[in-house]
């Protein structure tokens, strides 16, 4: 009896230690998130002023300045990426759901898409440099969008597929029974039913690409001046942050923090919005 009690205590203590460790791990994860947010706010808020939106990135050694050209450039590059990757991703996602169970190629495509989701983004930048910068002869906003599309399309594709699969089969069958052709069922019935889920995928894709730096380094490059010409090098927030954060100028570093705060807030808000969208879908 005495032995058993000892053993029992030992097991309980092991369990408690294990669970305490798991709670510490959770606390550490949360602490890092809060710490990063705190650092961003304490360094970035002071640089958030009207100048940020009205003046362009300053030349080396000059005072003040803002991020107008970088913000506009980022919006244009990300906007074009969304315009391109939404139809491509959604149609490809439809293919994987509607025809994907029947063919080996579709299975392979799904597998490769999942890998592309985590592929090193700098290599995608290298690839786009080789096909769209070296051949044309200059860096451009278009090349930047192309590089970002390589990341966004797989995200949209896989979420669209997962969301379409959640649509009950009876809905599809009912439409088929009424004599609707497959393309109508896919676009007007299943896609419509999965609308909010697909929106979730789009929001996540935008969130994912708006902070990506590595693919833009060799494609959109940077531009010190305001420019809306997507055929030329274009300023964008991530690359500006990268350059300015490593620079010796105080006002550059301050602007880098402001840009970092802007990007992080955008990404987090998009993520939370995506979750709200999805929750509405599940509850309705």
Partner 1 sequence: MSSQNLTQQDSSQIVSDEMIAIAKKQRVQDFFFHRVTQAFSLLVLVALMGIIISLFINAWPTFERFGFHFLWHVEWDIINEDFGAAIAIVGTVASASIALLIAVPLAFGVAVFLTETCPVWLRRPLGTAIELLAAVPSIIYGMFGLFVFAPLFADHLQVPLQNVLGGMPVVGFLFGGATNGMGILAAGIVLAFMVLPFVAAVMRDVFEITPPILRESAYGLGCTTWEVVRKVVLPYTQKGVIGGIMLGLGRALGETMAVTFVIGNANRMPTSLFSPGTSIASVLANEFGEAEALHFSTLFALGFLLFVITFVVLAMAKVMILRAEKAKGN
The only residue of 52, 67, 71, 96 in contact with partner 1, by rule CB under 8 A: 96
Residue 60 near partner 1 by CB under 8 A: no
Region binding partner 1 by CB under 8 A among candidate stretches 29-37, 72-80, 169-177, 191-199: 29-37
Binders of partner 1 among residues 114 to 173 (CB under 8 A) are: 114-116, 118-124, 126-127, 129-131, 150, 153-154, 157
How far does CA 180 lie from the centroid of its chain? 36
> How many whole angstroms separate alpha carbon 141 and alpha carbon 75?
11
b/e for 72-110, b at 16 or more Cβ within 10 A?
A: bbbebbbebbbebbbeebbebbbbbbbebeeeeebeebe
The candidate with the shortest Cα–Cα distance to 71, out of 218, 215, 241, 206, is: 241
Stretch that binds partner 1, among 60-68, 72-80, 165-173, 241-249 (CB under 8 A): 241-249
- Identify which of residues 228 and 272 has a Cβ nearer to partner 1 in the complex: 272
Q: 53 or 131: whose CB is closer to partner 1?
A: 131
Choice between 23 and 54, CB closer to partner 1: 23
> Contacting partner 1 (CB under 8 A), which of 28, 136, 174, 178?
28
Nearer to partner 1, 17 or 53 (CB): 17
């Amino acid at each position: 009896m005495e032995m058993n009690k000892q053993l029992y205590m030992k097991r309980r203590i092991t369990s408690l230690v294990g669970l305490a460790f798991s709670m510490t791990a959770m606390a550490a994860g949360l602490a890092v998130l809060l710490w990063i947010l705190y650092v961003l706010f304490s360094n970035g808020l002071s640089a958030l002023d009207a100048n940020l939106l009205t003046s362009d990135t300053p030349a080396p050694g000059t005072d003040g300045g803002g991020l107008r050209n970088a913000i506009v450039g980022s919006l244009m590059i990300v906007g074009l990426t969304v315009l391109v990757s939404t139809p491509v991703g959604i149609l490809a996602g439809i293919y994987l759901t509607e025809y994907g169970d029947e063919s080996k190629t579709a299975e392979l495509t799904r597998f490769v898409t999942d890998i592309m989701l985590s592929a090193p983004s700098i290599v995608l930048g290298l690839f786009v440099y080789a096909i769209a910068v070296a051949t044309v002869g200059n860096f451009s906003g278009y090349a930047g969008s192309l590089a970002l599309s390589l990341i966004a399309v797989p995200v949209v594709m896989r979420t669209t597929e997962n969301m379409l699969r959640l649509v009950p089969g009876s809905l599809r069958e009912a439409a088929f029974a009424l004599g609707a052709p497959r393309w109508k069922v896919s676009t007007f019935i299943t896609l419509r039913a999965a609308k909010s889920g697909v929106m979730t995928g789009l929001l996540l894709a935008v969130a994912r690409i708006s902070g990506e730096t590595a693919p833009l380094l060799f494609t959109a490059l940077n531009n010190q001046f305001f420019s809306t010409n997507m055929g030329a090098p274009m300023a964008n927030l991530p690359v500006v942050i990268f350059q300015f954060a490593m620079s010796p100028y105080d006002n550059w570093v301050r602007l880098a923090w402001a840009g970092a705060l802007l990007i992080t807030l955008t990404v987090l808000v998009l993520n939370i919005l995506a979750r709200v969208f999805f929750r509405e879908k599940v509850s309705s």
